[in-house]
Structure 1
Amino acid sequence: MKEIKKGLKLKLRHLLYGGQRRDTLKPLTYKTSQFANQASVTVWTLRYYDKVGL
């Protein structure tokens, strides 16, 4: 697994892509707080989901 600073542990297949074709874009990286904001959840919630494997 790849750990991005104090963020979520993501496997390579979980990298996020924008709204265009996957083969033409480079993966985006977000800070945990940025991703939580985009998902309308708290950072604590994301860390909990990561801990329980969701």
Structure 2
Amino acid sequence: MSTSGYFTYNMRTVVHSGADSIIKVPSLFRGLGGKRVLLVSDEGLEKVD
């Protein structure tokens, strides 16, 4: 563990968007080898059209 205070974190980000795009979620995670998924939302996201 570094004690210098320097930290780096890299993560590839992919955004899937569009009408009914949520139906693709299961196959996307299966393709990544995911077995458990945590999906987080809030009232603001639920209200977005």
Q: TM-score, normalised by structure 1?
A: 0.27
Larger fraction in strand: 1
Q: TM-score, normalised by structure 2?
A: 0.29
Which structure's relative contact order is higher, taking Cα pairs within 8 Å and 6+ residues apart? 1
